[in-house]
Amino acid sequence: MSVWDEVPNLKNKSIPELKQLCDELRSKIIDTVMKNGGHLSSNLGMVELTVALHYVFDFPRDKIIYDVGHQCYTHKLLTGRCQKFSTLRKLGGISGFPKREESVYDCYNTGHAGTSISAALGIAKARDIKGENFNVIAVIGDGSFNNGLVYEAFNSVSEINSNILIIINDNHMSISPTVGSMHEYLEELSSESEGNAKKKRHETIFERFGLSYDGVYDGNDLALMIDKLTCVKQKLRERSVILHVATKKGKGYLYCEENPQETHGISATNGAVEYSSVLGETLISMARGDDRIVAVTAAMTPGVGLSEFFTEFPERSIDVGICESHGAVVCAGLAVEGMRPYYAVYSTFLQRAFDQIVVDICSQNLPVVMCIDRAGISGSDGETHQGEFDLSFLSLIPNLTIAVPKDINEFRKMLLLSSAFSGPLAIRYPKDGYNAFKGSSFEIGKWEIMCEGNDCAIIACGERMITLALAAAGHCAERGVSCCVVNARFVKPLDTEVLEGLKQDLIVTLEDNALIGGFGSLIDCYYSETRKQIKNFAYPDEFIPHGSVGELISKYGISVDKVSEYILKNANR
């Protein structure tokens, strides 16, 4: 391994030496991801292409932006991060995504799909304004290619007029198999051999946008990639170029090659019940009796638990691809015609539909149910993937009801109630469920007093925080301080009947969300004229890095100890 412990100079190596290096890189990636979790298949597919890029171009002088960024492991290993690679995705270790903070070889942080071409255009424009001379490369998968940002960027290639290289890394997959016409078009190009008369006859779509198109080539053929990149580097002096390559997701590891969807991301199993599986099961049982129910997602069908639904109800299932904004508007359209769309998306990706949730769904007050998975801290993917903002960016939207189930049973009940609800509804939950608290029936907007107590009221939302609140209340009770614990299963509207009824002068709020604009701030605002003492436990005003969920929650001071300590110190007994 010593050859690439520091930043190796690949330019003086022979093809056989580089192939040997590829094998070593591939082993290193497999070993590490099997231990730490991470994106496996996408990284295995990118080994030869990345080595070829480093052979042909001059990083960090040349700039490379990896779209989404979950295919950058080889890049990291070739740029001085081999020793640290064992810390991948661990708290304090290196990130699974490009990070400027980590290395000068990472020029632009990514995490959400479709941004690489826009960013490359910005960087290239800055280069041209400054009169400098380097190459700017965006590497983008065919899954990201569905996203509207790509089209917006294409549309301004000629306007911005600064040359860039776009490499389409075509492996026919997002997390799910890629959908949509653009994908079919890429397939069609792939099926035509190089120099084919048909392709020559008509312009490619890309040429319409002022981009020179070249492809399709085998991205796992190292020598070919070196050859093609060398040619493209010349052409780039004249104009922007698209190089279309096909790679095999999971390349070199048979299990991954055969199961690319399952091995897109690897994480350790932990015995929890996943909220997503409850969503899938419940929605199927509801849809059997209710023809209005339609499931919509954005390239994450298995992740949000909808695979079986899609199989049983293909006519009422829509995967819009990585197009979260479009998906939200489609849901609004379905709802105006009387359907009951369930839009299942990860919290961090729902951010991309913010305007459409405001204007299309909520200002029209339409009965769209947003099922928000991976809410709160999501863990090892780090700051671009944490779901700590949703309560903040959703609670500001008029007409929206926001539910946060205390456990999987309550989640199921919420889903069952949701199809009769007349306005927009968001239900947010983490990936894993562990508890089944004693239940109580409920109606929408109503909270639950889980235990009584006079010295302090702890108002908490979501399974993680209810668990913590009950433990802190127990801890305090042992020390003679009695706490009421309230399950704020609806963050919006607030249950003002419960809030009016709380006679405790000391209130503590707990949430798996950012402090600013979150649940606690709604409570502060509600009581602002009453002179109560309120302490909000929530995440501080900073981006939350990668690490395990448990580590991160305690890192930010949300723990039984800290909560109890505050209450014991401040309660007037």
Instruction: Name the residue type at position 335.
Output: A
**371 φ/ψ angles, rounded to the nearest 5 degrees:** -100, 105
Nearest to 222 by CA among 29, 4, 23: 23
DSSP state of 248: -
Length of the chain: 573
**Cis peptide bond upstream of 260, omega within 30:** no
**Strand 483-487 and strand 448-451: pairing?**
antiparallel
Minimum CB distance to a copy of itself, residue 109 (Å): 5
Residue 372 forms beta bridges with which residues?
A: 345, 428
Q: Which residue has the tokens 């330019």?
A: 11
List all residues 6 or more positions away from 293 whose beta carbon is below 8 Å from its beta carbon. 283, 286, 287, 316, 339, 340, 342, 419
Name which of 333 and 480 has its Cβ closer to a copy of itself. Answer: 333
Nearest-10 crossing angle of helices 116-130, 148-155: 30
Instruction: Name the residue type at position 110.
Output: T
Name which of 220 and 347 has its Cβ closer to a copy of itself. Answer: 347
Nearest to 369 by CA among 411, 427, 416, 417: 427
Name which of 179 and 486 has its Cβ closer to a copy of itself. Answer: 179
Among 28, 63, 89, 249, the one annotated catalytic: 249
Minimum CB distance to a copy of itself, residue 57 (Å): 17
Q: Provide the token pair at 455.
A: 């010295």
User: Are the beta carbons of 329 and 360 closer than 8 angstroms?
Assistant: yes
Name which of 23 and 355 has its Cβ closer to a copy of itself. Answer: 355
Nearest to 548 by CA among 380, 331, 352: 380
Name which of 218 and 524 has its Cβ closer to a copy of itself. Answer: 524
Name which of 29 and 334 has its Cβ closer to a copy of itself. Answer: 334
Q: Could you tell me the maximum CA-CA distance found in the chain, to the nearest angstrom?
A: 86
Exposed, middle or buried: residue 555 (CB in 10 Å: 0-12, 13-18, 19+)? middle
Minimum CB distance to a copy of itself, residue 527 (Å): 8
Question: Using CA atoms in the order 48, 50, 52, 58, what is the torsion angle rounded to 10 degrees?
Answer: -170
Minimum CB distance to a copy of itself, residue 393 (Å): 6
Minimum CB distance to a copy of itself, residue 15 (Å): 34
Q: How far apart are CA 26 and CA 78, in angstroms?
A: 12
Minimum CB distance to a copy of itself, residue 434 (Å): 28
Minimum CB distance to a copy of itself, residue 414 (Å): 21
Element (H, E) at 275: helix 275-289
Among 99, 352, 431, 489, the one annotated catalytic: 352
Catalytic site residue 352? yes
Q: Provide the token pair at 294.
A: 């339609």
Cβ neighbours, 10 Å, residue 247: 25
Q: Provide the token pair at 387.
A: 């779901």
Residue 319 forms beta bridges with which residues?
A: 297
Q: How far apart are CA 72 and CA 436, in angstroms?
A: 40
Minimum CB distance to a copy of itself, residue 531 (Å): 4
Instruction: Name the residue type at position 206.
Output: F
DSSP symbols for 506-571:
EEEEEEEEESTTSHHHHHHHHTTTTT-EEEEEEE-SS---SS-HHHHHHHTT-SHHHHHHHHHHH-
Catalytic site residue 258? no
Minimum CB distance to a copy of itself, residue 328 (Å): 8
Instruction: Name the residue type at position 342.
Output: Y
Catalytic site residue 249? yes
Minimum CB distance to a copy of itself, residue 254 (Å): 31
Chain-centre distance for alpha carbon 251? 24
Name which of 438 and 569 has its Cβ closer to a copy of itself. Answer: 569
Active-site positions? 249, 324, 352
